[in-house]
Amino acid sequence: MTSYPRIAIIGAGPGGLTLARILHRAGMPATVFEREEHALARPQGGTLDLHAESGQLALRRAGLYEEFLAIARYEDQGSRLYDKNAKLLFADDDAAESDRPEVDRTALRNILLASLPEELVRWNHGLLEVRPRDDGTYDLVFETEIVGPFDLVVGADGSWSKVRPLVSSYRPQYSGITFIEFGIDDIDASHPDLAALVGRGKIGIEADGRGMIVQRNGNSHVRGYAIFRVPTDWAEKTFDFASPAKARVRLAAEFEGWAPEIIGLIDASNDHIVSRPIHALPVGHHWQNRLGITLLGDAAHVMSPFGGEGVNAAMLDAAELARQLLENADWKDAVKAYEADMFERVIEPAAQAAEAVATELSHLGAELSLQHYKAHLEARLQSSAA
Ligand SMILES: Cc1cc2nc3c(=O)[nH]c(=O)nc-3n(C[C@H](O)[C@H](O)[C@H](O)COP(=O)(O)OP(=O)(O)OC[C@H]3O[C@@H](n4cnc5c(N)ncnc54)[C@H](O)[C@@H]3O)c2cc1C
């Protein structure tokens, strides 16, 4: 009889669930512990583009490619750049042939969850601490119980991982950039003029040392990020998030002098207005292998979202860790091999994301953004010609 390591996965995000699914499909047991009370406890956030060589590859290995195609929005890959007067500087409206379709996070989580037995994910289990035992195994300490022992604990618990301190003393650092997130529901029916401004994909606007990215999600929803280079506590001091009406007015005031239709995007926002300070671990973050502990996704290498690589990197980590565990006779060697590859693999996307956040809102303003948009189009055309 095969003897498998007892595996605990902390976090039911895209990384943790992809790992759980691939292992489950191959018959290797693992339990996921998630702090949220249930699958619908919180909206999972905006839209993500899944890349062929990483996010999509992971879903293929998970046997969920058909399910992915059913939620993929190929039609929403366009991009536009406007100036603050709503004059169009750049448009790539014809991108439906690209291979980086958008999926909504909630839809992605749903297809992963639907592919797993219910009892495999233990909701309402916010990890407080991983406690080593003398025999090299680990107990998981939750508010109401201690669960264990486990041979292998995988931290897939995001930026503020409670598993990471067992292998690394690094914590994500504030990048200097804060997003204020807002959203417009049912935009096609409620605000067709704003829907036309956004088009099928995302728009960017940058001027006066501030910016905005607004992106079409599924179900006629649009999500926006107002972008500022400010101290960490600026948003909490500036906005009364408990009163969305006040937060909306205050946010619109930040864009005084911009075209009414751009400010209209904020005016049309629903009451979900929140601050998202952007943090990242250092490029090249790594650790000495420690028996029975590893990390994947944001827990291992959170990066700024400007490169659009975070979820793709998390899912590829999961697919690669699963592959190593399934192919390798010794799970300890599997984890070492996974870590060695992963440390190398994420250096380039992490460096690009670090450069992107460092140059965001530079004095070159829209000129630099225009270069990025053009370079992106060029790369897209080259890859579809190849
Ligand atoms: C504003 C913003 C926009 C972004 N846009 C993009 C984008 O367009 N494209 C892209 O690729 N990436 C984007 N990202 C990055 C992307 O969200 C992450 O890289 C991705 O979600 C990482 O997946 P993960 O599974 O590693 O972690 P997460 O998605 O963070 O999932 C971690 C899970 O662990 C759970 N958890 C946390 N702590 C505990 C605990 N103590 N105990 C138990 N469970 C716990 C959480 O509830 C969560 O379910 C964006 C990020 C931000 C902030």
Taking CA atoms only, the protein residue closest to ligand 1 atom 5 is 305
pLDDT recorded at residue 181: 97
Please name the residues in contact with 375: beta carbons below 8 A apart, sequence gap of 6 or more.
none
Residue 344 lies in a domain: yes
Mean pLDDT of the chain: 95
Same domain, yes or no: 15 and 112: yes
Q: How far does the centroid of ligand 1 lie from the alpha carbon of residue 173, in Å?
A: 16
- In the chain, the amino acid numbered 345 is R
> Of 109, 128, 298, which is best to mutate to test ligand 1, by the most ligand atoms within 8 angstroms of its C-beta?
298
Same domain, yes or no: 179 and 271: yes
> In which band, very low, low, confident or very high, does the pLDDT at 378 lie, cut at 50, 70 and 90?
confident
Give the residue numbers spanning the domain of 243.
174-280
Same domain, yes or no: 118 and 188: no
Q: What is the CATH number of the domain that holds 273?
A: 3.30.9.30
Q: Would you tell me how many other CB atoms lie within 10 Å of the CB of residue 282?
A: 12
Same domain, yes or no: 154 and 293: yes
Q: Inform me whether the pLDDT recorded for 57 exceeds 80.
A: yes
Same domain, yes or no: 182 and 130: no
Q: Which is the closest atom of ligand 1 to the Cα of 215?
A: 8
pTM for the structure as a whole: 0.96
Of 280, 298, 316, the residue that ends a domain is: 280
Q: Which is the closest atom of ligand 1 to the Cα of 126?
A: 42
Same domain, yes or no: 121 and 194: no
As for ligand 1, residues whose beta carbon falls within 6 Å of it are 10-16, 33-36, 48, 126-127, 156-158, 162, 179, 276, 297-298, 305, 308-312, 314
- Asked if residues 200 and 92 have their Cβ atoms less than 8 Å apart, the reply is no
Q: In angstroms, rounded to a whole number, what is the distance separating the alpha carbons of residues 119 and 106?
A: 20
Q: How far does the centroid of ligand 1 lie from the alpha carbon of residue 298, in Å?
A: 6
Residue 80 lies in a domain: no
Taking CA atoms only, the protein residue closest to ligand 1 atom 31 is 13
- In the chain, the amino acid numbered 16 is G
pLDDT recorded at residue 43: 66
Q: How far does the centroid of ligand 1 lie from the alpha carbon of residue 103, in Å?
A: 15
Q: What is the CATH number of the domain that holds 38?
A: 3.50.50.60
Q: Which is the closest atom of ligand 1 to the Cα of 300?
A: 26
How many structural domains are present in the chain? Answer: 2
Q: In angstroms, rounded to a whole number, what is the distance separating the alpha carbons of residues 255 and 177?
A: 17
Q: How far does the centroid of ligand 1 lie from the alpha carbon of residue 191, in Å?
A: 30
Same domain, yes or no: 154 and 56: yes
Q: Tell me the H-state helices in the chain.
A: 14-25, 55-61, 65-71, 105-114, 187-190, 192-198, 234-238, 244-253, 260-267, 298-301, 310-327, 331-345, 347-359, 366-385
> What is the average pLDDT across 123-147?
97
Residue 12 lies in a domain: yes
Same domain, yes or no: 68 and 206: no
Q: Which is the closest atom of ligand 1 to the Cα of 317?
A: 26
Percent of the chain scored above 70 by pLDDT? 98
Q: Which is the closest atom of ligand 1 to the Cα of 16?
A: 25
Residue 61 lies in a domain: yes
pLDDT recorded at residue 2: 64
Q: How far does the centroid of ligand 1 lie from the alpha carbon of residue 189, in Å?
A: 31
Same domain, yes or no: 157 and 180: no
pLDDT tens-digit series, residues 249-272: 999 999 999 999 999 999 999 999
Please name the residues in contact with 237: beta carbons below 8 A apart, sequence gap of 6 or more.
none
Q: Inform me whether the pLDDT recorded for 386 exceeds 80.
A: no
> What is the average pLDDT across 298-327?
96
Residue 182 lies in a domain: yes
pLDDT recorded at residue 22: 98
Q: Which is the closest atom of ligand 1 to the Cα of 14?
A: 25
- Asked if residues 139 and 131 have their Cβ atoms less than 8 Å apart, the reply is yes
Same domain, yes or no: 261 and 288: no
pLDDT tens-digit series, residues 244-255: 999 999 999 999
Q: How far does the centroid of ligand 1 lie from the alpha carbon of residue 156, in Å?
A: 9
pLDDT recorded at residue 377: 85
Same domain, yes or no: 202 and 106: no
Residue 368 lies in a domain: no
Strand runs labelled E in 117-156: 121-122, 127-132, 138-142, 146-150, 152-155
Same domain, yes or no: 196 and 161: no
pLDDT tens-digit series, residues 90-130: 998 888 888 899 999 999 999 999 999 999 999 999 999 99
Residue 140 lies in a domain: yes
Of 234, 260, 280, the residue that ends a domain is: 280
> In which band, very low, low, confident or very high, does the pLDDT at 46 lie, cut at 50, 70 and 90?
confident
Residue 131 lies in a domain: yes
Of 236, 264, 280, the residue that ends a domain is: 280
